[in-house]
Amino acid sequence: MSEIRIRYSTPLRGEIIPPPDKSISHRAVILSSLAEGTSVIRNFLFAEDPVSTVNAFRQMGAEIKIEGQGTRGRGQETKIIINGKGLSGLSAPEAEIDCGNSGTTMRLLCGVLSGQPFSATLKGDASLTRRPMKRVMEPLSLMGAAFKSENGYPPLTVTGGYLQPIHYQSPVASAQVKSSVLLAGLYCDGVTSVTEPERSRDHTERMLKAAGAHLAVDNLTVSVKGRATLKPSDIIVPNDFSSAAFFMTAGILVPGSEILIKNVGINPTRTGLLEILRSMGAEISLENEREVSGEPVADIHVRHTPLKGIEVSGDMVPKTIDEFPILCVAAALAQGHTKITGAKELRVKESDRITTMSNALKKMGISVEELEDGLIIEGRERLKPATIQSCGDHRIAMSMAIAGLRADGETTVLDTDCIKTSFPGFMELLETLQK
Ligand code: S3P
């Protein structure tokens, strides 16, 4: 099991290209596999999570070719070419589908599998096996799919069927739940809709619309009319805001730093951290704003600035959902206290991110109060070096490595193999900024 050792940093300076967007990479593979015709995906994220989605669709007969620099290639020279099978062209997998660590793979696949005339079993690693699947099983069962599982946790078997459209009032703001129901809705005669308590990321909606699905958005309700033929597309995946977030925050926290982070997706359903850091006093500018494959993109310029504590709640939570671990690190080094509430969802991520972050920051000398749905963090000038358990959670591992850049001495982050699920080459990229 690997670990990261990190020390108080010299200024971070330079330009970086973060990895491609994970959420968009998953969706590009799914919708291209369900389209009729050949799609090309450029700048796909070759990390373990989206590769689990590629493998799943290959197991169901989608023809997926990787051209260019090989499977580990980065950038737009590596292409994925998918010969879509149409909505009803997938075949039953011969073996169980392994979703690895990826909740997005498992939950979105549940939606697709609900519309198939066959059964498939989905399994995952130890972390995914602890994550709740009832949130998709419930609406998909109402539509007519059948599930077998141990109390709503993986592994689970989905048996597709003739689906009825539903109007689903989701109890959680979750793009995975919303996307899963919308994907199943493609197989219904009629209109399926999902209403969320707050808006979650909208990549599925943007991509479905571009593929020619009849999709409508009315405030917090998204509806799709089933049975449309999906068109293939040529997609360039923007770089991942959630991965850029570690470097944005590092650039703000480490004295003397100035970083330009290139070609980053700035979809407003994802950029809560940017708004929050600005409200905490950070200097962040967006340059070269443009649109790429239906998604807003920009270069993000950050420089070191002292921060002050803030309160975060309500509709900021889903827009920041994957950035709370790194936001907690920013809060630990801000002046005054930061209070995060309304973020109970953090308890069911790759780890219980409320408890994991609370334990990690306490080890580094920070006073933290754990709430049922968030945390209160009292900021300090510097952190104490410590040995930190990542609990196998990629975003905790990277966040605590960034925390180590402001600790007096050597910090060790344990169990860091998980970083490969979303950000292969994370430490190497950080080191390019320290030269
Ligand atoms: C994702 C949605 C979010 C997010 C996850 C990726 C997606 O999960 O935390 O990392 O790609 O749809 P929830 O839908 O559970 O909020």
Q: Are 416 and 3 in contact (CB under 8 A)?
A: yes
**Cα–Cα separations (whole angstroms), residue 18 to 82, 209, 318, 350:** 24, 27, 22, 21
Q: Domain ranges in the chain?
A: 3-19+239-432, 22-236
Whole-angstrom Cα distance, residue 323 to residue 313?
Answer: 13
The answer on pLDDT for 146 being more than 90 is: yes
Whole-angstrom Cα distance, residue 376 to residue 333?
Answer: 13
Token pair recorded at residue 316: 């900021």
As a whole number, mean pLDDT of residues 117-134 equals: 98
Active site residue 299: no
Q: Are 98 and 131 in contact (CB under 8 A)?
A: no
Residue 74: pLDDT band by 50, 70, 90 thresholds? low
**What angle is formed at CA 31 by the lines to CA 235 and CA 105, rounded to 5 degrees?**
105
The atom of ligand 1 lying closest to the CA of 26 is 11
For residue 435, the model assigns a pLDDT of 81
As a whole number, mean pLDDT of residues 334-355 equals: 98
Residue 274: pLDDT band by 50, 70, 90 thresholds? very high
Pocket of ligand 1 (CB under 6 A): 23, 104, 174-176, 179, 200-201, 321-322, 345
Local structure of residue 162 (DSSP, 8 states): P
Residue 296: pLDDT band by 50, 70, 90 thresholds? very high
Do 3-19+239-432 and 22-236 share a fold? yes
Other Cβ atoms within 10 Å of 385 Cβ, number = 21
Does residue 179 sit in helix, strand or coil?
A: helix
Q: Which of 278, 261, 303, 305 is nearest to 430 (CA)?
A: 261
The answer on pLDDT for 73 being more than 60 is: no
Whole-angstrom Cα distance, residue 181 to residue 86?
Answer: 18
Percent of the chain's residues with pLDDT above 90: 97
As a whole number, mean pLDDT of residues 234-249 equals: 98
The atom of ligand 1 lying closest to the CA of 318 is 16
Q: What is the CATH number of domain 3-19+239-432?
A: 3.65.10.10
Whole-angstrom Cα distance, residue 1 to residue 350?
Answer: 17
User: Catalytic pick from 240, 322, 393, 415?
Assistant: 322
For residue 78, the model assigns a pLDDT of 85
The answer on pLDDT for 402 being more than 80 is: yes
**What angle is formed at CA 344 by the lines to CA 395 and CA 371, rounded to 5 degrees?**
100
The answer on pLDDT for 374 being more than 70 is: yes
As a whole number, mean pLDDT of residues 347-359 equals: 98
Average pLDDT score over the chain: 97
Q: Which of 5, 4, 17, 108 is nearest to 416 (CA)?
A: 4
For residue 69, the model assigns a pLDDT of 64
Mutate which of 31, 134, 172, 200 to test ligand 1's pocket (most atoms within 8 Å of Cβ)?
Answer: 200
Distance 178 CA to ligand 1 centre (A): 10
Q: Identify the architecture of domain 22-236 in CATH.
A: Alpha-beta prism (3.65)
Whole-angstrom Cα distance, residue 52 to residue 109?
Answer: 11
For residue 165, the model assigns a pLDDT of 98
Q: Which of 90, 117, 108, 129 is nearest to 52 (CA)?
A: 108
- Residue 135, classified by CB atoms within 10 Å of its CB into exposed (0-12), middle (13-18) or buried (19+), is buried
